[in-house]
Amino acid sequence: MNKQDLITIVAEAGDLPKAKASDILDAVFEAITESLKAKTDVRLVGFGTFSTSKRKAGKGRNPRTGEEIAIPATTTVRFKAGKGLKDSVN
């Protein structure tokens, strides 16, 4: 499923035009993004939790040359599925 498929499903479920469904999905994604930028978890009861996590800096190797490279520390996004989502998939 891609974003267009999701827009179509939301539009049909909410009896909305696709343009309005697209705006709604964009607003939801933007709200989640802004919350994660502020280092705040997004908890959707029954679905799951989006959170940020720090990844330490490390060393790696360039597979082509074998040269050692420094990998910088980064912040990553994590998702932990909620019980409702896990149960519906199983």
84 pLDDT band (50/70/90 cuts)?
A: very high
Which CATH number does the domain housing residue 22 bear? 4.10.520.10
Q: Which of 77, 82, 88, 89 is nearest to 48 (CA)?
A: 82
Q: What is the pLDDT of residues 31-65, one digit of tens each?
A: 999 999 999 999 999 999 999 999 999 999 999 99
Domain that holds residue 27: 3-89
Distance of alpha carbon 26 from alpha carbon 14, whole angstroms: 16
Reduce the DSSP state of residue 68 to 3 states and report it. strand
Q: Which residues, including other chains, have CB under 8 Å from residue 82's CB and lie 6 or more apart?
A: 44, 45, 46, 47, 48, 49
Number of domains comprising the chain: 1
Q: What is the pLDDT of residues 63-72, one digit of tens each?
A: 999 999 999 9
Residue 59's pLDDT is 94
pTM passes above 0.85: no
Distance of alpha carbon 27 from alpha carbon 35, whole angstroms: 12
Q: What percent of the chain has pLDDT over 90?
A: 98
